[in-house]
Structure 1
């Protein structure tokens, strides 16, 4: 049995991934941030007669991360598979997005995986191997959309961190994979109220577009299966797109400058959401 630690398991991709590893018979530590948020996970696990632990872990807190990793290590030995899944999504203009909200995005989506990786690596090196799967996003590999700059920045930074980490830990027998899902039916995306200011209408328009895209989102179980495959297959590329939209989007950007891509994106968004508001509307 493999000791697996997964963050962000109260819903969506994390929940499905925890169940998928448990079905395989692994020792699953399905972490949630807030007490009481694992009810759906535990109900589904009981229905399938699956065994898993549900520790509390706040990826933005150094002490919480250290305590969770130490508890797993004491109970089952070093973490063998780390799945950095916890993440949040908020939209907002670069100029007016509240600084605390922007910082929380980076703390959760970038520093969270960094904290967990740093915490598990000594144990992985000691046992001579391990796998770190960072769940990023298509947004980290494509051009950033209006009002999506901070989220895209957090995911692009996670991709860069994954690349450096891949090269650093490979000599120790440790693998790193950065999965980049497209649109999936997770609880990740939350609309950010478009506050007063010069970008109010444009921000609301963009959130309306994202809501329309989410209506056709694929099942999170597909991402969970991709995570299992990445953990098991040494041939998995560092950057791995997941989902038909992600697989189609990346090649379509080849050779396009941002100035060429943006009008095409805006035309697509307007076809779903209506005309983009002009300045001051």
Structure 2
């Protein structure tokens, strides 16, 4: 029985991925930061008569990661498949986004996958095999949008880390895949933006109007987001197929975006992006 550990399973892609592996009869460890957030996952699992464990694991906390992975491995042996899915999104201007919010992005989206990977790798190496699937984002492969620089940076960094790890662990029989989904209907779409405690830029932020304009555009894009179950299928397929490329985009919008960007410079792309944004959110406000 394959032992699968997945982070960030309270909603979205993580939740659907946990159910997808469980349907196959795999031993699923569907990790959540807050056990109270697992209610929907457990409800869905009961409805389908699926069995899975729900360990508490906070990817930003060294002790939490160590405790969760140790408990799983003590009970069931080395992890066969690790899915680093936990992630957050925060938008805000490069100049004024509070640094604690920017650091939180890196702590969760980059250092989180690193912590969990380091925890499972000794067991994988000892057994001579395993798969690590890092759920990144199309934002890590394309040009960064206004107010999305920190999120894009965290995902681009995860892609670079995945490349190095791929080469380092390949001699031990371990595979690494970096999945880069486009727009999917997960709670990450609606999480608050940077700024004051309510998640909005402060009243005196010179980028406030521009940020609100971009937020309207992103909300319109999210209306057409794909079902997270589609992304979960891609995760399972990547874990199964040794031929899966290191960088694999997920979703028709992601595939179209990469095709559109072939041979295009940032200076060529930006006016097109702004035009698309204005078609959905209205004219971009002047400073």
TM over 0.5: yes
CA distance in 1, matches of 2:59, 2:272: 37
| Pairs within 5 Å for 1:30-109 | 30-109=30-109
How far did 1:188 drift?
1.1
What's 2:10 paired with? 10
CA distance in 2, matches of 1:259, 1:276: 18
CA distance in 1, matches of 2:281, 2:213: 7
CA distance in 2, matches of 1:167, 1:30: 28
What's 1:194 paired with? 201
Classify the secondary structure of the residue corresponding to 1:175.
Answer: strand
Q: How many residues align?
A: 279
In structure 1, stretches of 5+ residues that fail to align are: none
Classify the secondary structure of the residue corresponding to 2:8.
Answer: coil
CA distance in 2, matches of 1:256, 1:36: 46
Query: Do 1:191 and 1:207's aligned partners in 2 also have CA atoms closer than 8 Å?
Result: no
CA distance in 2, matches of 1:124, 1:201: 49
TM-score by length of 1: 0.98
The one-character-per-residue Cα deviations of 1:55-99 (angstroms, maximum 9, x if unpaired) are 100000001001111011001000110000000001000111011
How far did 1:191 drift?
3.3
Classify the secondary structure of the residue corresponding to 2:5.
Answer: strand
The one-character-per-residue Cα deviations of 1:128-148 (angstroms, maximum 9, x if unpaired) are 000000000000000000000
Query: Do 1:4 and 1:79's aligned partners in 2 also have CA atoms closer than 8 Å?
Result: yes
Classify the secondary structure of the residue corresponding to 1:36.
Answer: helix
User: Out of 196, 212, 216, which is 1:204 matched to?
Assistant: 212
What's 1:272 paired with? 280
Q: Does 1:245 align with 2:246?
A: no
Classify the secondary structure of the residue corresponding to 1:143.
Answer: coil
Query: Do 1:194 and 1:201's aligned partners in 2 also have CA atoms closer than 8 Å?
Result: no
| Pairs within 5 Å for 1:44-193 | 44-189=44-189, 190-192=191-193, 193=200
CA distance in 1, matches of 2:266, 2:248: 22
How far did 1:35 drift?
2.4
Classify the secondary structure of the residue corresponding to 1:188.
Answer: helix
Which runs of structure 1 show a deviation greater than 2 angstroms over 4 or more consecutive aligned residues?
none
TM-score by length of 2: 0.96
Query: Do 1:58 and 1:65's aligned partners in 2 also have CA atoms closer than 8 Å?
Result: yes
Query: RMSD of aligned C-alpha atoms?
Result: 0.6
